[in-house]
Structure 1
Amino acid sequence: MHFLILSGANERAIVAAARDLQSQGVGFSIIARPSKDPIAGTFLAPHIVATRSIDRLDIDDLVQTLGRIRHQLPDRLIYLPASEALNRLVLQHRQRLEQECSLEIPLPDLETYATLSDKARFNTLAQDFGLELPPSELEPRTAPLPLVAKPHSEFSPHTGAKLYPVLMFDEVQRQAFFAEEEEEDYFYQRYVDGQSHYYLFFFNHQGHAYSLFQENIAQQPNGKSIVAAQTCPCPSGDFLEKITACIRSTSFFGFCMVEAITLNGKSYLIELNPRLWGPLSLAIHAGFHMHWLGKPESAAQPTPLTSPARYTWFSGMLRTRLSGGQLRWYPGKKRLFFSHLPSFLRGDIYLQKFNTLGMAARELL
């Protein structure tokens, strides 16, 4: 098997996935974004076999670019699902990519994928399985703060722009949000402030789930990227049982990540991402492997580690501070981080043995 990586987004996951494929002796090739693609400055540069002509998602450009170099690649070429926007494009044009480019796509059909990817649709499904959601707010302009705006779908039906969750902690942020965004593009929930966990999954074609659990230590402001984390025991057996049954009911297969917030002994579903996630290197360290996408029968429940696997995105921390932002440390975790600093830094995605410091440095400039 040989994997095709479309770069230009979610670089941390791409770097981690590529390292894992290398360690497993599995080949891969990269089609790069035509501008601002940091992958070109890393150890992955020799694997770039082509560059897209258009700096936006365009199926004709992708098919033409892949068509020019397809004869150079092995017969079994497997798409690596690193980005939701790319995943949706690939699934929307699945038949064309399979027939014209002989590209294998290890994802379910577009309707199934959208059920998990669209936050409002997945929340409705999750409630059917008894999963707890943060309380809804039907009057977001006057609701108590803090407040979270979550997009109904990945792209706005009004503007076509990609949408992201927005946190509003004060009235200034709320007024700015409603001045800039379409209110109908979002639904609104109370902000739940507790310990954050990721439930990490690989589902095979038979619906069997392999799982890992991640305790989040620190995060960029406004709910952005996790910058420090470690593996942990299952935070809630009840939540795990319900979320597994919920995802399995859709016949989804592949990798996905679920975030939950634990507060006063209760686990609240925050979101699900049916793609590779930023701190992927932590899961790989703990026993997940990318080649399962091409050979799902080889998947195996990772063996529990004798000590936690740890992860840091140090350049993400530095960039936050240099831009004047404040990291969010989860309750009681800042002391843990600094008391185990050497082991956290050994888990940094860009400070490992490969010469990728240039990538971290460019992020700071």
Structure 2
Amino acid sequence: MAQHRHIEFEQGWSNIQKGITKLIRILEGEPEPEFHSDEYMNIYTIIYDMCNQRSDYSQQLYDKYRKVIEDYIIQTVSPSLREKHDEDMLRDLVKRWDNHKVLVRWLSRLFHYVDRHFVLRSKIPIPTLDEVGLSCFLDLVYHEMQSTATKVVLALIHKEREGEQIDRALMKNVLDIYVENGMGTYEEDFESFMLEDTASYYSRKASRWIEEDSCSHYMLKVEECLKRERERVTHYLHSSTEPKVVEKIQNELLVMVAKNRLENEHSGCCALLRDDKKNDLSRIYSLYHPIPQRLGRVADLFKKHITEERNALIKQADDATTNQLLIELHNKYMVYVTECFQNHTLFHKALKEAFEILRSQGGSEKLFL
């Protein structure tokens, strides 16, 4: 550029302030003509000149940039949010966050030369204009509103779990605010509370369902819960939340009640084997497969049931038919191993051990290897 004019700070800032006021009015939906490129270039040039003259106002412009954003938040954004509640507050929070990002983007362009001339050349590291702008929202809006926002979001998740329709797009937009301010922010300020709430919710459900439902109906409910929670992640939770929320559900609905459900005399694993409920057994296998210790208990019950059937068969059959009946029993439960338990080694081992005593007694060893 050519020789720069000298601009006194108050004179220059007055012109810059007019442009900023217009931008804010546009964001607030006030009647204003479009912000044209010549207006942008005029402000940019004023800032450029104020940074390149003998009286370098870079520091003052940097400080004013922050104050403009802080004043807008304190005078307009925060009062608007404080007067709203529940979903209306969430909607306004999303709107204010979106507007804030637009404002910071525009101001960072107008003040771009301050970044180049002052921030990047500073001997002591200082935040860039983008960082300053976003930290203003974090300090003045997010830190005040996040606790309330988290409670509202958790209440909406509870409603959805109970079968009510909620605005999933709104939920995603709100939670994106947490994520965009850092995964640590999302995990500490939202996810930790959501996981705690999830554990409490499903603990209550488990207590009620084990009183109301057979093992088969209970496992159907667990399967549906896991499906819905995974779906919930795809719609509005961060993908990293899925394994954590699944683990909470597995612990409350499967691990903590394993003995009650799996060993129930009337509807547990042995009853399902007795009644040839292959679909239900497949579901139990699928649900407990990710939980090795509890899957081992399913295999133990499988072995226990086969052993009891084998012993009953030996007592009832005569010597001439015992061998053939044992072969049929073995083949019957091999179908369970392949169809219900997906050829898992635990169940092959359980089947093998259930017939082990026959081999040790010199029985039909080759038939059960």
- TM-score, with normalisation over the residues of structure 2? 0.19
Structure having the larger proportion of residues in strand: 1
* Higher RCO (C-alpha 8 Å, min separation 6): 1
What is the TM-score with the length of structure 1 in the denominator?
0.19
